[in-house]
Structure formats: structure tokens, C-alpha cells
Amino acid sequence: MARATVLGRLNWLSAEVVADRRETPRVRSLVLDCPGWPGHLPGQHVDIRLTAEDGYQAQRSYSIATPADGTRVTLTVEHVPDGEVSPYLVDEAVIGDRFELRGPIGGYFVWRPDDGGPLLLIAGGSGIAPLMAMLRARRRLHEGVRARLLMSARSSDDLIYAAELNELAATDPGVEVVQTLTRSQPEGWTGYSRRVDREMLAEVAWPEAEHAHTYVCGPTEFVEAVANSLVALGYDPRSIRTERFGPSGGS
Amino acid sequence: MTEYEHRDGNALGGLLLEAFGREMTDADACCGNCHRVNQIGGMLLYQSGPGDVLRCPNCATVVMVATARPDGTRFYFAQLTWMQPRN
């Protein structure tokens, strides 16, 4: 990596909200324009810093939900009750707002498309965001890579990117999308209806011999359960890349 | 301390970038207790008390602690035998 790029990432950049989309009642995507943005890899995150009028600062990390696109960065943020940053991003920020951002950050929970596949992506709630960046990057340039996504949400109203994922699954034979709804299911639901467990993973995950590139993202309890089940199924612990939010949403 | 409050070393990426001037979450690091090698981003991060505490995902030994001081971040390499950033 060029030294100038590395140094550039140390600086806080000014990000401007240029578009937004309500994904679910508690989740919103924000498209930010960040002059000076050096580009990024699927799975990387940014730090966001908000400064109050009295000088108080709050800082949080958010995954990037889109592949590199010039100076544009899209974040998908879930409202964390009592959070210091997410309530602003989800319910208050308007087009034209500016705040500070630095990144891209991360070399561990990253899919380098040249690494190939198959991909096994497992998301709990808004943990779908960095995995969506991988699927979108794959669709743009690397459709030969097979991918399976298992996503868990409370109800159908909480399924983030639902329309885009339905369209992807219907039109791209290389992508399988499996969903489980843990609290309530609409009439005629054909997906799973329970928390992700070992039996579900045995049905959905690639056989261990495929040496899948595996990424698990979500609340800590979810990630722990999934990673432990995959290891029980024979996956090498070091082949499973994890991103834990902590006890509730966020990251 | 609840069982599910920890995160991953990933979340320290910004702090490490600031301190070391380069991406560090994909650096290999060897636990001083069990000598397993893991990437920093895959270690367990506890942020409930003062400082950021990084533990080995294999044996839970405290590998590194980062504390904010008025004059910068201080890193304690408690049980870290070696660390190798990627080229």
C-alpha cells in the first residue's frame, strides 16, 4: 500500500450526508460523500466522530455496506437505545449534515475478491452491513464466486435489504440467500423460524472440505453461537472471521 | 462482567492506525501464555473498564491493554511474545 494512502487514513475527513434510505423501522442507510476518501475493501469500517456544541465528542465504528465507489461511502446503522451516536444517524441526520469520519479501517474482517470463494456469510440483525458490501462487490466484478448468505432477524419487518436480496437470489444462480425469523413469521413463511443453531448450519453451510471463506457478524452472543457451531461441524477456528457488536446492536 | 459484552480486536483498528500509522488488525500476534498465533482483529476485546483489554481467543490471557493518557495512548504488552504486521 502506498505510504501516502496510509497517512491519509490517519486524518479525520469531513463527511456530508447526500442520500438516505429507511431499511427497517430501526435501521437507516446513509450515503456519505467524503472528499479525499482513498477507497476501501468489502468488510472494512469507519470511525464516526460527533462533536457537540460544548465540545463533547462521541465516537463509534460502523461497517461500510457498499464496495468502493469514488468518494461515496454508505453506512447502514441500527438505532441503539441510549446510544450516543446511532440515534442521531438513524433518526435525526438530514441531507446536507456534516460530521467527521476516518478510515478505511480493518485488514482482518475483509474479503479480498482475489481470495475467491466460496463465501459463507452469516449475519445477525444489522450485522448484514459488511457482508452486503462483500455481496455487492462480488456482483459487480466477481460473479464466478459462489456465495451463501444466512441472515437472522426478529421478524420480516426487520429484514434489512430485503428487496435487493430477493432480487439477487432470484436472478443470480451463484448466490443462495437463507433467512430465519426468530420472533414472528408472516403467513406462508418458508424460511427458518428459530435462532441459528448447529442443525441449521449443518444444512446451510458449505461442507468443511470446501474451505469456505467464512464471515460472521452480529451481536456477540449470536457470533459466539455461530462460530462454536461451525467449529463443532469441523471448521478450522482460524478460517472463521468474526465481527462482534457487543451485547446489543451498534458497531 | 457479562458473558457477551466483548467485541473483536477489529474495533481497535482506528486506535492502532492512529498510534502505529498503518493497518494493524491483520498483524499476527503470538500469545505469551499458550503461544497460539492469531490476528489482532480476531482477538477478544473488552472495553468495560478503563482501557481497552485484548485477550487471546484460545486461552483468554490478557495479551495487550491500551489506555488513554493526556499525552497519548499507552500500550501495555502484557503477554505478547511477538507481533508481525503484514507487508
pLDDT tens, residue order, chain A (251 aa): 444 455 555 689 999 999 999 999 999 999 999 999 999 999 999 999 999 999 999 999 999 999 999 999 999 999 998 889 999 999 999 999 999 999 999 999 999 988 888 999 999 999 999 999 999 999 988 888 999 999 999 999 999 999 999 999 999 999 999 999 999 999 999 999 999 999 999 999 999 989 999 999 999 999 999 999 999 999 998 889 999 987 754 43
- Where do runs of H (alpha helix) occur along chain A? 3-8, 86-87, 128-141, 162-171, 198-204, 220-232
Exposure of B5 by Cβ count < 10 A (0-12 exposed, 13-18 middle, 19+ buried)?
Answer: middle
Chain A residue with minimum CA distance to B19: A10
Kindly tell me if the per-residue pLDDT of B3 is higher than 80.
no
Residue A81: Cβ within 10 Å count: 9
Spell out the residues 6+ positions from residue A178 whose beta carbon is closer than 8 angstroms to its own: A148, A149, A150, A151, A191, A192, A204
Kindly report, residue by residue over A63-113, the tens digit of the pLDDT. 999 999 999 999 999 999 888 999 999 999 999 999 999 999 999 999 998
Which residues on B lie below 8 Å from A231 (Cβ)?
none
Mean pLDDT calculated for residue range B12-33: 93
Residue A1: its pLDDT value, please?
46
Q: Which residue of B has its CA nearest to A3?
A: B22
What does the pLDDT average to over B47-58? 91
pLDDT higher than threshold 60 for residue B2:
no
Stretch (H or E) spanning A191: none
What's the CA gap between B44 and B56, in Å, rounded?
Answer: 6
Binary contact (B7, A251; C-beta < 8 A): yes
Q: Count chain A–chain B contacts defined by CB atoms under 8 A.
A: 78
Question: How many other C-beta atoms lie within 10 A of the C-beta of residue A163?
Answer: 8
Long-range contacts of A90-94 (CB under 8 A, 24+ apart): A90/A26, A90/A27, A90/A28, A91/A28, A93/A17, A93/A20, A93/A30, A94/A17
Write out the residues of chain A at the interface with chain B, using a CB-CB cutoff of 8 A.
1, 6-7, 9-10, 45, 47, 61, 102-103, 105-110, 219-221, 224, 237-238, 241-247, 251
Minimal C-alpha gap between A203 and chain B (Å) = 26
Identify whether the C-beta of residue A116 lies closer than 8 Å to the C-beta of residue A145: yes
Pick from A110, A238, A246: which is nearest to B7 by CB? A246
- How far apart are alpha carbons A208 and A145 in whole angstroms? 17
Contacts of B19 in chain A (CB under 8 A): none
Q: Do B13 and A241 touch (CB under 8 A)?
A: no
On chain B, the residues whose CB falls within 8 A of the CB of A110 are 26
Give the separation between CA A67 and CA A138, rounded to whole angstroms: 9
Q: What integer pLDDT is reported at residue A113 of this predicted model? A: 87
pLDDT for A114:
87
Residue A197 has a pLDDT of 96
Of B5, B10, B18, the CB nearest to A109: B10
Whole-number pLDDT of residue A4: 47
Query: What gap in Å lies between CA A166 and CA A91, rounded to an integer?
Result: 26
ipTM: 0.85
Q: How far does A134 lie from chain B, in Å, by closest CA?
A: 17
